[in-house]
Structure 1
Amino acid sequence: MKMKITIAHLVPLLWVLLVCLDVTGAQLNGDIDADELKAEIADLEALKEKQRREVVKDVRVACNSEDITLTIKSYMESFNGLIYPKGLSKNSSCMSEYIRHESDIIYVIPLHSCNTMSTDVVDGIEYFNTVVVQPHLKLVTNKGRGFHIRCRYKTQQQILNADFDVKFEWSDSIIKDRLGDGAQDSVLSALGTTPLTATAAMPSTSMRIYHGEPIDGRVAEDVKIGDPLTLVVSIDDQDIYGMQITECSVKDGLGWSEQKLINSEGCPVEDEIMGEFEYSSSKTTALVHFQAHKFPYTSSVYYQCNVRLCIKHAGGCDDTPPICDANGENTLKRRRKRQTIEFDETKGVLYDPDREDLKVKVFSGLYVNEASEFDEEDFLDDNIADEIAARAHDPSRICFPQRDFAIAIAIAGLVLILIVIIAILCLLSKRRRKKELSTTGSSIYSGPYTNTAYSHSS
């Protein structure tokens, strides 16, 4: 029997097919949405876990002229803890305490204290420090984090300006002769004076502390008490300016203590700590040798000096280097009154040596650690040290480290003991073999005994 299929029969089938496709698509979309939801949930869980383990969300650094400012964002709704430079967590003025702090945390580090040190880089100087964020007021936990902060500053060339008015000496006599006394003031007021500005590039100034002699080029960063150091202050080598070092001091970097080293005359305060500066012939470099020292409660030491620039051709450097008397006064320093800048055909430009723009402050710092109580170098004579060095480099000698030599002796002893044990075992085994051979070679007759030497017949 043949069935006749019409369009009316196909319409329900098409509807069923479309419904099946819609259901399948909905299931696929549901599966995709479920996977995305699972991924989002996993991300949220990971974020919560990170927030549970981490405290700091972001740190921003602002390099200012006198300090470094940190802006710290935290995952915590309110931050309870401490922020301090590494090594200054105990009774330090550099430590900041935060209790239920809800907004961004602002922490400021000075450039010349609080363990902030500097190093010379290309075209400038770089300051660095390590800051610890501790999310607890009393305990150090694994949630605490340390951040190494660096700020680099480029040195800029400064221009020294000297403004002065030029007044010609012949102007008064000419006006007085030709126009009379009454016209002198009116003519001068009409002509006025001619303002001139003398500009000169101000030399850059630097302070460096070397371990030993400066010629070795070893910049001191981490030394021990008593190590020989050399402090060098210098300006650019040129023919206009010289310098004089005054008012040097050493600070602890915490604001607690300061010791004067050089006074305002350029003379030492305590010779046993730091003596007089030695100046170069061009008066652009000065150095002083001293031994490393520190404050009892911190290892960071900061040195600061004032550099007074002087113009050589104007006689401003005649009192440099200073000649110090017993009272710490410079006998070459001339007592000069404050002078206004004016132009003189014979003497040139006169200047005021007390001008603030002729004074520059220089800084440098380093870490000084405690020396060990029994340092081998302190007990070795120079000749003994040279002899030891010569023996160490003698090619005819064979040297072994003590640890390797002890291990070799122990191994040799074990090998010797094993050899003795093996020898004893060999001797014992030989004796046992001899006994076995003697026992198996003898025979015992168990039959009737017949004495062949004696016979009796009847």
Structure 2
Amino acid sequence: MAHLHHLPYFCLMEVTLACVVFASHQLHLPVVKNEIKSLDVICDANTFNTTVTLEHPFKGMVSAKDFSRNCYTYGTLENTVTLSLPTSGCGLRLTSKVGKNGELLMSYSVFLSIQQDRHLHQIADQEIRVSCQINDEQFSVRSKSMVKEIEHNSMENSRSRSGRMRQDNIWKSQFDENKFRGNTRHQESIKAAKVWMEIVPDEAETSDNSIQDKLQVGESAKLIVKSTLPVDIGWKVVDCNAHDGLGDSSQKLLDEEGCPIDDQLIPQPSYGPIRKVSLTRYQEATSIFPAFKFPDRDRLHLTCMIVLCRGPCKQVNCNKNLSSNEREGKTLNKEDSEDTLDQIKIFNSVEVLAPTVNEYYKTKDYKIHKA
């Protein structure tokens, strides 16, 4: 009877040991990856296209990291798969740097997730960072109103020079040459016109001069709007919004006059000195703020409107004690006058991490509070 009493115990021990041995074998199964053979990327100011070539036919899903439900494409049992993304969302990030010869180099980048099965995550899945340099002309400001204003100013300058040169045929021939040069110069200034946004840590440059592309919630971050515009064109930043990249969640940051909705989120941008660069003027507007994110997304997207003005733009006094009507008429400089030419949308994104916050959202306390 004693042996019969202990028999189930011994059987249980044998089964448990067998399970442990089986599990250990499972953990050491070889991982079979469908290796990436090549990546081909083509981009412009609006779209980012990536073609992934794999070693074997692919039936899974390629998506922008953290955007698998909206920014994705499926494989069709061929070795190549192409994903097309809008540069205004899906986690696309714009960065710029100065090249060896002083030229401006701009590029978009995104993290891609290559999922071997359309519906399941596996250990063989891969992530890869893909970047693409943008042709300068593709990123130029496209504003008919601005072009007309520059052409008008060029014609006025030509007429002024013409009046001074009518007395002499030699002067006239010189004027014809100068007129040709003037047209070429204003065309070059139009091609060089750019406005873009970057989001970086407040102390952005590391020891190797590379730009960090991740932030922590609460870390001091810097929103920088950079402009390279023709001499006669002014600008200012207005109507800024934070969103999750899909349009599901958003938060207004700056109103239509460029005043902050909440100084604790982001303060009014500060405009730096103007620096002449060839045929244009370069200027930055900067706002330093504590980094934040939406609860269910690690990518923070910012979108702003840039007002282009004929001459200097009016700078509004954002004193919260003033009414909106009083704000509209009160400028920081009484000599400023605004004649709006156009509005340009700019956008960018940055990864913002919050490990402690993310862990809290998974806890029972958060679920009970939410319910």
CA separation in 2, counterparts of 1:152 and 1:235? 19
Residue in 2 aligned with 1:83?
A: 62
Alpha-carbon displacement from aligned partner over 1:399-437 (angstroms, at most 9, x marks no partner): xxxxxxxxxxxxxxxxxxxxxxxxxxxxxxxxxxxxxxx
Which amino acid is the alignment partner of residue 81 of structure 2? Answer: I
- TM-score under structure 1 length normalisation: 0.49
Native 8 Å contact 1:209 1:220 kept in 2: no
Change (3 A) 1:149 1:199: same
1:268 to 253, 260, 264: 260
1:105 aligns with 2:81: yes
1:235 deviates by 2.1
CA separation in 1, counterparts of 2:35 and 2:205? 48
1:57 deviates by 6.0
Residue in 2 aligned with 1:365?
A: 349
1:68 to 38, 43, 48: 48
- The alignment partner of 1:307 has SS state of strand
Change (3 A) 1:155 1:323: same
Q: What are the ranges of 5 or more consecutive residues in structure 2 without an aligned counterpart?
A: 1-31, 157-182, 275-281, 331-336, 358-371
> RMSD of the alignment, in Å?
4.1
Residue in 1 aligned with 2:93?
A: 117
Native 8 Å contact 1:242 1:284 kept in 2: no
Alpha-carbon displacement from aligned partner over 1:70-120 (angstroms, at most 9, x marks no partner): 33456666x43222223445xx3224445x656953321222322222221
Residue in 1 aligned with 2:165?
A: none
Residue in 2 aligned with 1:408?
A: none
1:213 deviates by 6.3
Alpha-carbon displacement from aligned partner over 1:238-266 (angstroms, at most 9, x marks no partner): 75333211111112123322211111111
- The alignment partner of 2:148 has SS state of strand
CA separation in 1, counterparts of 2:299 and 2:46? 18
CA separation in 1, counterparts of 2:118 and 2:291? 35
CA separation in 1, counterparts of 2:253 and 2:89? 18
Native 8 Å contact 1:261 1:270 kept in 2: yes
1:366 deviates by 1.5
Change (3 A) 1:281 1:152: closer
Native 8 Å contact 1:71 1:105 kept in 2: yes
1:205 aligns with 2:185: no
- The alignment partner of 1:148 has SS state of strand
CA separation in 1, counterparts of 2:309 and 2:82? 42
CA separation in 2, counterparts of 1:53 and 1:293? 36
Task: Point out the structure with max Rg over C-alpha.
Answer: 1
Residue in 2 aligned with 1:94?
A: 71
CA separation in 2, counterparts of 1:57 and 1:213? 37
CA separation in 2, counterparts of 1:371 and 1:56? 31
Native 8 Å contact 2:215 2:351 kept in 1: yes
CA separation in 2, counterparts of 1:155 and 1:291? 32
Residue in 1 aligned with 2:8?
A: none
Alpha-carbon displacement from aligned partner over 1:181-238 (angstroms, at most 9, x marks no partner): xxxxxxxxxxxxxxxx994724432323343368999955212111122222232487
Residue in 1 aligned with 2:341?
A: 355
CA separation in 1, counterparts of 2:113 and 2:85? 12
Residue in 1 aligned with 2:366?
A: none
- Higher relative CO (CA 8 A, sep ≥ 6), structure 1 or 2? 2
Residue in 1 aligned with 2:118?
A: 137
- TM-score under structure 2 length normalisation: 0.59
Native 8 Å contact 2:235 2:306 kept in 1: yes
1:290 aligns with 2:289: yes
- The number of residue pairs the alignment matches comes to 269
1:224 aligns with 2:204: no
1:332 deviates by 5.5
Which amino acid is the alignment partner of residue 341 of structure 2? Answer: R
Q: What are the ranges of 5 or more consecutive residues in structure 1 without an aligned counterpart?
A: 1-51, 167-196, 336-350, 374-458
Residue in 2 aligned with 1:149?
A: 130
Identify which range, 237-246 or 222-231, moves more after superposition.
Answer: 237-246
CA separation in 1, counterparts of 2:67 and 2:222? 27
5 Å matches for 1:19-418?
54=34, 59-72=39-52, 79-89=58-68, 92-97=69-74, 105-121=81-97, 122=99, 123-141=104-122, 143-156=124-137, 160-162=147-149, 199=186, 201-202=189-190, 203-212=193-202, 221-236=213-228, 240-280=232-272, 284-312=283-311, 316-317=312-313, 319-326=314-321, 329=324, 331=326, 333=328, 353-356=339-342, 359-370=343-354, 372=356
